[in-house]
Structures are given as C-alpha cells and as structure tokens.
Chain A
Amino acid sequence: MRGVLEKDFRSYRKTVLLTLALVVLYAAFCCLMPGFDLVHSVLFVGWMGAVAAVNEVADDERNGYAFLMTLPVDARSYVLAKLVYVTTVQVHFWILARVTLLVGTLLDGKKPDIPALLSKGLALHFGMVALLMLILTFVIKFGVKSILYLAGGLVMLVCVFCVLVVTKPDANWVDALLRIGRFPHIGIYATAAAIIATAGLTRLAVHFMRNKEF
C-alpha cells in the first residue's frame, strides 16, 4: 500500500500546481469582489480537490493496470491506498478552503467565526471522497471511459433538476428538495451518508478488483 501511495502522491505533486493556481486565482477573485458570498469559494475549492485527485484514480487504468498488479500490491491494499490518497487530497483542499474563507472574511473587515469557518462546507469534502470512490469503482469495473458516462449522467440529472426548478418553481416536490439544503443539521446527515457510501464503495471496489482480469 505504501508503494502505491508513494506513486500516487509523486504524480499528484507534478500535476497539482495547475489546480492550485486555479484555486488561488478564484480565491483572489472572490476576495476582491465586494459582497461575494464566500461559501461559493469553499464549494469551488472542494470541487477542485476532486478534480486534482481524479487523475490519479483513473491513471492506473489508463496505464493498463497489468504492470502495477505484478508488483507487491493486492486488490485490498490497492483500493485502500486510493482511499487514503483521495482523503488526503480532500484534507489538503479543506485546509485551502478554510484559508480562503479566513482571508476573505478578514478582507471584508469582519471578525471570523472560527467554529463556523471550520465546519462550513465540511460535508462537501466527505461527499467528494465518496464521489471519487464511486469513480474508482466505475473505473475498475467498466474501464476509464465509464467516467465520461458517469459525469454525463450526473450533469444530465443536474440539468433536468435545474430546468424543473426554473419551469415549475412552485411544485411541492421541487420546494421540498430545495428545503433539504436548509434542513437543521443537514451537514451532519450528509457527512454521515457520505462516510457510509464511501465504506460501501470501498468494499465494492475491492471485490471488483479481486475479480478483474488484466
């Protein structure tokens, strides 16, 4: 597992600079725009964390897996290494999001509320770990092209939802869905759901990896 992690982080180090540059540019934009909702920057940074990590999740499949699986790596240690990797990347980006939020708050001339600052958008990072494990499971089972279908499916779902929200803003179920975001302690429930999903997806990815032929 340590060898796979070493490989992943060495590749990550070489590609993360571009992602960080985008994050810094966006953070600067957020901080300079008066009255901009800083929560958006937290969401953006969390999303960029997933973008930075997804390359390594798919890279082994692109390289053919075969050589990697002749090294001292088994299915379980491989999937666990990926889980540790995506979680670590999300921790990096969680820290980055907090720094962005803190700087933005200070530049706005407000006093930072530290507990709120630490917890804001936390579920998003757990959600990204779950999403990345979902992508890994798809890549192992269906190949790297499945990411495109998965992403396409997610984008279509979001588009359909947005169209419905715009065309039928008064429908009860749309209102109910939108109200989920304002549900008390929704962050805690979402975090718990993401952790459970991650655990399930990790087991599934190990199962697929064990039965995979290269």
Chain B
Amino acid sequence: MVTLNNFRKHYKDFDLNISMQIPAGTVTGLIGRNGAGKSTTIKAILGLINPDEGEVCVFDKNPREFTPRDKEAIGTVIGGNLLGDFITAEDTIAILRKMYADFDEPYFRAQCKALELPLEKPFKDLSNGMKARLRVLIAISHKARLLVLDEPTAGMDVIARSEILDLLREYLAQDGERSVLISSHISSDIEGFCDDVYLIERGEIVLHEDTDTILGQYGVLKLSENEFRDVERQYIVACKKEAYGYACLTKEKQYFVDNYPGIIVENGSLDSTIILMLGGR
C-alpha cells in the first residue's frame, strides 16, 4: 500500500534516508525520539515534500501527483491548527461533507457526543486533548483505506489515549484491508496497537521488526563484567553499560535461557528495545 524506496531528503541540519513498506491490512508503528525524522517521513508519504533521491509510492502512485479523489482514501492526523482558529466542529462537518464523498456525518456526530467534543466551540478554545480527539475523528470519518497518524495521542492523558486507540481498533475491525501508519514517542501506544514497528534515529531506520517478535523473542540480558566477557556476542544486538555490568539486548532470548542458566534474562519490551538500541552501542 505504501512504499518508500531509498527516499532521501537533505535539509541544512538533517538528512532523511529511509526505506519502508506498509502492506495492506497492517498497523505499522514509527517510533523514535523527537527530531528523529518521524514527521518528515510522514510528510514524504503524504506528498508534502519532494524527494532529493528515491521514490515514494502510495496506492501505486506518487503522492505528489494525487488528485483530490485519490486523497479521499487517506485519513491524516498531523500537527497544526486544522482548518482555522475560529472553525468549530459543526463547521468542520459542513466542510468535510463537501470534501469527501464518503463522509459519515451520523458517525461523526455520534463520536463527538461520545468523546464529549463540543460542536459549537471554536478550535482555538478547545483543550489539547479535545483538539487531538477532533483530529483523529476527522481522519476516520470518511472511510479512508489508509490512516497516516503523526503523534495522534500527543497531549492526552492515559484514559483519553486509550479511548482513541479503541476508536482506531474499532475502525480497523470494520475492514481488514485498512492500513495504519502511526508515529509516536509513547511506546506503550505502539506496543499494544501495532503489528510491526520501525525505529527511526537521525533520519534512518535502525530497527524494523514485528511487535510479536520483539515481545516474544527479544530479551534483555543483565550481565556482570565477567558474564559479559564470556557470553556469545553473535546474538547480542546492542548493549549498554550499567552500574551492575551490562544490559544487553538480544534477538535470541531462548538461546541464552537454554545455554546460560545462570544469567538474568528479562522479557523484551518496546521500551527496553528503544533504550538499548538508541542509548546503547
């Protein structure tokens, strides 16, 4: 559904050099720290920037050449002020009705009620949480085949984040061919929601893995200096110096459980993977 093939973009103080794929029917997470290149990647997929090299294909087409009809198949959450400071949710309904042939107005109104979004309040007067909910609601209210969501849960408390993720799960359950790309720096959102994960750092993908693989096969070894000297390094992906010795990320947790019964092996999580991949060596 989406392919970035050696997409390169040079800025004065930042380079993006990325390849990734989002197949139909999958939820893909893009995770990394602030300034790692998540938003630039999303802009590339949405055709908001031109590549210096490489190509980007969405629905087998360059998104810079999308017609308005093509764009109807994509739902987006990106930062900024949506449609204007003084535009209310009620205005948004009227605007979306004219923009999207498949805009589901009853659904939008019902969700506004369920999410306690005031229809008559201008966008500038909404709280950050309300703004985030309205953004997501706009993205999912026109039966898009692809959702591209840049930090959709930013600024939300844990309950509101859970509500939004439930809304997205419900949306995905309606059609198995729908795909989502979601960027976040909140790893718990990605871990519980995505099928696979891209970890981005300084404009490059440093890890691409199925979430199930990370949770099932990855592990963290807690090693003393002596144990660290003796273990098989071949299966260690990254390690970090700690007060007790070394924390090492492995892709073959079971190998160490079977062959080194004396060492501590913790189950892998997205958090530990990110910390060791980005903070380790």
Which residues of A approach B to under 8 Å, CB–CB? 2-3, 5-7, 10-11, 14-15, 59-60, 62-64, 66-74, 77, 213-214
Contacts and interface: CB of A to CB of B under 8 A. Distances in A.
Contacts of B100: 72
B81 A63 contact: yes
Interface in B212-242: none
B51 to A, nearest CB: 11
Given A63-B81, A66-B43, A214-B49, A72 B72 contact: yes
Given A2-B99, A14-B86, 9 more contacts: A2-B98, A5-B98, A62-B81, A67-B83, A69-B48, A70-B46, A70-B148, A71-B76, A72-B68
Nearest to B123: A63
A213 B50 contact: yes
Interface in B68-108: 68-69, 71-72, 74, 76, 78-87, 91, 94-96, 98-100
Given A3-B99, A74-B66, A214-B48, A10 B94 contact: yes
Interface residues of B, number: 31
CB-CB nearest 3 A-B residue pairs: A3-B99, A72-B68, A64-B80
Contacts of B71: 70-73
Given A7-B87, A72-B68, A72-B71, A66 B48 contact: yes
Contacts of A3: 95-96, 98-99
Nearest to A72: B68
Nearest to B99: A3
B78 to A, nearest CB: 6
Contact of B43 (A7, A14, A15, A214): A214
A121 B162 CA distance: 60
9 contacts: A6-B95, A11-B84, A11-B86, A14-B86, A63-B81, A70-B71, A72-B99, A73-B68, A214-B49
B95 A66 contact: no
Interface in B26-66: 43, 46, 48-50, 66
Given A6-B95, A73-B71, A66 B80 contact: yes
Interface in B143-202: 148
A6 B76 CA distance: 20
A64 B79 contact: yes
Contacts of B84: 7, 11, 59-60, 63
A6 B66 CA distance: 22
A6 B84 CA distance: 12
Contacts of B76: 67, 70-71
Contact of A77 (B68, B80, B82, B91): B68
Contacts of B85: 63
A70 B48 contact: yes
Contacts of A73: 68, 71, 99
A63 B83 contact: yes
Contacts of B67: 74
Nearest to B73: A72
A214 B99 CA distance: 20
A11 B66 CA distance: 27
A60 B87 CA distance: 12
Contacts of A7: 83-84, 87, 91, 95
Given A3-B95, A6-B95, A10-B91, A64 B49 contact: no
Contacts of B78: 66-67, 70
